[in-house]
Chain A
Amino acid sequence: MSGTLELKALENLIARVALGDRSAFSSLYDATAPKLLGVCLRVLKQRSVAEDALQDAYVKIWKGADRYVSNGLSPMTWLITIARNCAIDRLRASRRDVGSEIDTVTETLAASGPSPEQSAIAGSEARRITSCLDELEATRGEAIRGAYLKGESYSDLAAKFDVPLNTMRTWLRRGLISLRECMER
């Protein structure tokens, strides 16, 4: 996690944002927006669209900060996940009308999840995804990276690797299962 701020400081800022503290929100933006824009730019190549997605993300962050404590994610994970979701929303909205479906994903993420203690346990397991992705068959690793960093869907991936959609699904699911096994070793 390459946050500009320490974990505690970020948590503190988010807690103040949850109380409606605009200056804390401003500081949170200054500290994290460059990283989040970097993430948006991986999904959306066009700068202006990525900046729009970044706006969406901070609107969601302001509105969802009061539910942050209950979602069990570390602060940068929460922020990056929101930014990535907003970027994928923009990406997919530009292709077809996905409407409310996508919104629900972000909302569900914010509304449910383990307690902070549970998440601390999950975090301390320190599953090393990068080395495990490298252990996978190269194309599977690449597909998972593409799905996460570029927001690629099954049909994008099927087209990219030139395989039928269902083959892509089976393939990627197997990849995810191997990945999990590797990370639990």
Chain B
Amino acid sequence: MSDPTEKDDESARDSALAAEYALRLLDGDELRMAEARASADPGFAREVAAWHEDLVTLTDPVAPVKPRRATKGAVMTRLFGEASRQGMWSAVGIWRGLALASMTATAGLALLMVSQPGTWLGTGTVERPGTSAPAPLQLAEIASEDGSLRLLAAYVPQTDTVEIRRVAGEARPGRALELWAIAGADAPVSLGLIGEGAQSVTLPAAVARQLAQTPLVLAISDEPAGGSPTGQPTGAVLAAGPVTTL
């Protein structure tokens, strides 16, 4: 055993075994033995990792290929469920709930439009019933790019409040989600922290006035527990969405 060549041979054989394991050439008993060694013998595990690092350079010339759009959605669904990729308009039930719960005056219109999306989604124009029509419904879907955080908001003009429903996502442990209204190039105005369930937020008068003139964006940022200490977003903006008028 003290013969250096024998030791070299042994280490060469071990290295070849580590390479076969990394290459996935082993099967049956050989595979099981190599697995056992990889978890019990740090030296062998190191050799396997070294082979991985070496072999991976063979992929340097491999050209990237853009995956189909649907593939990312499929990954998200597999991991986070259907809710993570629902489009705005598939959440009809939620809109209906919002409308019924808080928009007595506009409920008729909201239900009419929500239950027949084709009539207005197709053309982009809505025939509003008569001159006595209530104020148009203003809605926003505030969603992160991947759909992992998603909220729906509806503006109730009678009370200058925004009704909020969280559909997906939550604050990281020890952090808070803060809602902001952004009008044009103006500084964001905090609408407060996002709570657990359904929520109603009163719009500051200035924001409510702007809603009529400037396109408004609602956004959510990641903030320390208790909210932004500065009155402006301090953390990453996780999700945003424009207020749309139906």
> Across the interface, which residues of A come within 8 angstroms of B42, CB to CB?
114
Q: Across the interface, do B53 and A51 meet the contact criterion of CB distance under 8 Å? A: no
The verdict on A122 contacting B46 (CB below 8 Å), with A21-B172, A108-B35, A151-B24 known, is yes
- Cβ of A65 to closest chain B Cβ, rounded Å: 12
Is B62 interfacial (CB 8 A cutoff)? yes
Q: Across the interface, do A153 and B25 meet the contact criterion of CB distance under 8 Å? A: yes
Cα–Cα distance between A102 and B66 once the two chains are bound (Å): 27
Q: Which of A1, A58, A111, A148 has the most CB of B within 10 A?
A: A148
Cα–Cα distance between A108 and B36 once the two chains are bound (Å): 9
Stretch at the interface among B11-19, B88-96, B152-160: B11-19
> Across the interface, which residues of A come within 8 angstroms of B35, CB to CB?
104-105, 108
> Across the interface, which residues of B come within 8 angstroms of A118, CB to CB?
46, 49
Contact flags A113-150 to B (C-beta < 8 A → 1, else 0) = 11000110011010101100000000000001101110
Name which residue of chain B comes closest to A92, CB basis: B24
Cα–Cα distance between A42 and B31 once the two chains are bound (Å): 24
Q: Across the interface, do B49 and A37 meet the contact criterion of CB distance under 8 Å? A: no
The verdict on A111 contacting B39 (CB below 8 Å), with A26-B148, A34-B66 known, is yes
Contact flags B14-51 to A (C-beta < 8 A → 1, else 0) = 01100111011101000100010011001001101110
Complex partner residue of A39 from B19, B52, B62, B84, CB under 8 angstroms: B62
Q: Across the interface, do B39 and A80 meet the contact criterion of CB distance under 8 Å? A: no
> Across the interface, which residues of A come within 8 angstroms of B15, CB to CB?
176-177, 180
Complex partner residue of A38 from B13, B65, B72, CB under 8 angstroms: B65
Is B80 interfacial (CB 8 A cutoff)? yes
Q: Across the interface, do A55 and B53 meet the contact criterion of CB distance under 8 Å? A: no
**Number of A interface residues in the complex (CB < 8 A):** 70
Q: Across the interface, do A105 and B148 meet the contact criterion of CB distance under 8 Å? A: no
Q: Across the interface, do B45 and A113 meet the contact criterion of CB distance under 8 Å? A: yes
Complex partner residue of A34 from B46, B60, B65, CB under 8 angstroms: B65
Q: Across the interface, do A81 and B52 meet the contact criterion of CB distance under 8 Å? A: yes
Cα–Cα distance between A153 and B15 once the two chains are bound (Å): 18
Complex partner residue of A119 from B27, B49, B238, CB under 8 angstroms: B49
- Cβ of A7 to closest chain B Cβ, rounded Å: 13
Q: Across the interface, do B59 and A80 meet the contact criterion of CB distance under 8 Å? A: yes
Complex partner residue of A177 from B12, B72, B149, CB under 8 angstroms: B12
> Across the interface, which residues of A come within 8 angstroms of B78, CB to CB?
55, 59
Is B71 interfacial (CB 8 A cutoff)? yes
- Cβ of B13 to closest chain A Cβ, rounded Å: 8
Q: Across the interface, do B146 and A23 meet the contact criterion of CB distance under 8 Å? A: yes
Q: Identify the 3 closest CB pairs spanning chains A and B, nearest first.
A: A22-B148, A34-B64, A26-B146
Known: A122-B49, A127-B50, A176-B15. 18 other contacts (CB 8 A): A22-B144, A22-B169, A23-B145, A38-B62, A42-B59, A54-B67, A73-B49, A80-B56, A85-B24, A101-B31, A104-B35, A112-B39, A119-B53, A147-B24, A149-B62, A173-B20, A180-B12, A180-B16
Q: 20 A-B pairs, CB-CB below 8 angstroms?
A: A1-B60, A2-B60, A22-B149, A26-B148, A29-B146, A34-B67, A41-B65, A42-B59, A51-B71, A72-B49, A77-B52, A101-B27, A102-B24, A108-B35, A122-B49, A122-B50, A123-B53, A127-B54, A179-B19, A180-B15
| Chain A residues engaging chain B, CB cutoff 8 angstroms | 1-2, 19-23, 25-26, 29-30, 33-35, 37-39, 41-42, 51, 54-55, 58-59, 62, 71-74, 76-77, 80-81, 84-85, 88, 101-102, 104-105, 108-109, 111-114, 118-119, 122-123, 125, 127, 129-130, 144-145, 147-149, 151, 153-154, 172-173, 176-177, 179-181, 183
